[in-house]
Amino acid sequence: MSRARLRLGVLMEEGAGALDPLLGLLAAGGVRSAVVLRAEQGFSPAGPIRTADLETAALDLPLQVVAVDRPEVVGPLVGPARALVPRGLVTREPAVALGAGDPLPGHDDDVRLSLLVPRRARHRGAPAAVAAIDAARAAGARAAVALLGVDGLDGGRRTTARFWSRNASPPVSVVAVVPAAGARAALDALAAVAGDVLVERVRALGPADPAPEHPGHGRLTAYLAPDRGLLAALRAGGAAGGTLLRAVRGSGPDGAVRADRLLAVRRRAPAVCVVIDRAPALARARRAVESLGGAAAVTWEPVEVVEAGAAAPVAATRPPG
């Protein structure tokens, strides 16, 4: 069976009313796995920085929806998803699902390994998400985080978080950035926790690395300490938008793994900042990240932004070089 996968990403406002129709579309179309992540902060060209604090109780925070399945399943849903989210950002990217022992293409880039695990899942007595992060760190991951989903699909079934509930159903998204040399060990370790792992090539950017040249859109992702004013720095630098996701557990810039406690005021777990734009804007965003310092990893990869009416099958794209 083909291990090719297509990753559909949707970034939209929480109060836009599109989430239920979108997840309904994905479920009806046969998508088995999806996760909805509620950003802690975000801004778009049309408004100020929104934050999920008690004073503002913002209902227009960004929601990031990620759905992954075979290209023949996800591909036909791209156009309808775009139509449901006219003011959002829709992306699609090729990936591959690999398990322990599967051939891993050789290259010099880092890889991003991602997997969805149910909150209730356990591995060798520990929560599966905790075991996955520990396994990734043991394999030399530059960064590894666990992000709690608030909604999604598990086996094609809707899994919505409730306020007064144990919320064992919504998935946890575990993401690890691993150097090419450690990719084999990390893949096998994560596959032992949760089966197939989504594998995508990314380029880790150090302060001295040249800026990637790419004619289309790219995604800059920074794994850093809890909110250090990055979105404000991005806004001041002219960025059109940015999204800050709060991890509940992960490795920070110093390599230590930290976790947040329920109802704790102080943030301890790392944050993940995502900016999608063209090369000049991403170069400015990168400078903003570097000005703050303390990122465990900064990665870049090309991404296809889907415009209205663009529903042709995606072609595999690779970071240049």
Burial 18-44, CB ≥16 within 10 A → b, else e: bbeebbebbbebebbbbbbbbbbbbbb
Q: Name the strand (E) or helix (H) holding 84.
A: helix 78-84
129 phi/psi in degrees, rounded to 5: -65, -40
Q: Does 248 reside within a domain? A: yes
pTM flag (> 0.75): yes
> Between helices 128-138 and 183-194, what is the axis angle to 10°?
170
Residues in a beta bridge with 116:
173
Burial 163-200, CB ≥16 within 10 A → b, else e: eeeebebbbbbbbbbbbeebbbebbbbbbbbbebbbbb
CA 91 to chain centre: 12
What is the Cα Rg of the chain in Å? 18
pLDDT digits (tens, 9 = 90+) for 91-107: 999 999 999 889 887 77
Q: With helix as H, strand as E and coil as C, how does 151-219 read?
A: EEEECCEECCCCCCCCCCCCEEEEEEEECHHHHHHHHHHHHHHHCCEEEEEEEECCCCCCCCCCCCEEE
Q: Does 318 reside within a domain? A: no
- What is d(CA 109, CA 106) in angstroms, rounded to the nearest whole number? 9
Q: Does 38 reside within a domain? A: yes
Could you list the pLDDT tens digit for every one of the 321 residues in the chain? 458 999 999 999 887 789 999 999 999 999 999 999 999 888 877 666 677 654 444 557 889 999 999 999 999 999 999 999 988 899 999 999 999 889 887 777 899 999 999 888 889 989 899 999 999 999 999 999 999 999 999 888 888 865 444 445 678 999 999 999 999 999 999 999 988 999 999 999 988 888 888 889 999 999 988 766 888 888 887 888 899 998 999 987 778 888 886 545 567 888 999 999 999 999 999 998 888 877 889 999 999 999 865 544 444 444 434
Q: Does 313 reside within a domain? A: no
Expressed as residue numbers, the domain containing 231 is: 4-305
pLDDT digits (tens, 9 = 90+) for 153-193: 988 888 886 544 444 567 899 999 999 999 999 999 999 99
Query: Which pLDDT value is given to residue 41?
Result: 85
Query: Which pLDDT value is given to residue 207?
Result: 82
pLDDT digits (tens, 9 = 90+) for 226-263: 766 888 888 887 888 899 998 999 987 778 888 886 54
Query: Which pLDDT value is given to residue 119?
Result: 83
Within the chain, how many helices (H) and strands (E) appear? Answer: 7, 21
Do residues 59 and 3 touch, judged by C-beta distance below 8 A?
A: no
Q: Name the strand (E) or helix (H) holding 293.
A: none
* DSSP annotation string for 130-141: HHHHHHHHHTT-
Token reading at 184: 């084999």
Do residues 169 and 83 touch, judged by C-beta distance below 8 A?
A: no
Q: Does 316 reside within a domain? A: no
How many domains are contained in the chain? 1
Do residues 227 and 40 touch, judged by C-beta distance below 8 A?
A: yes
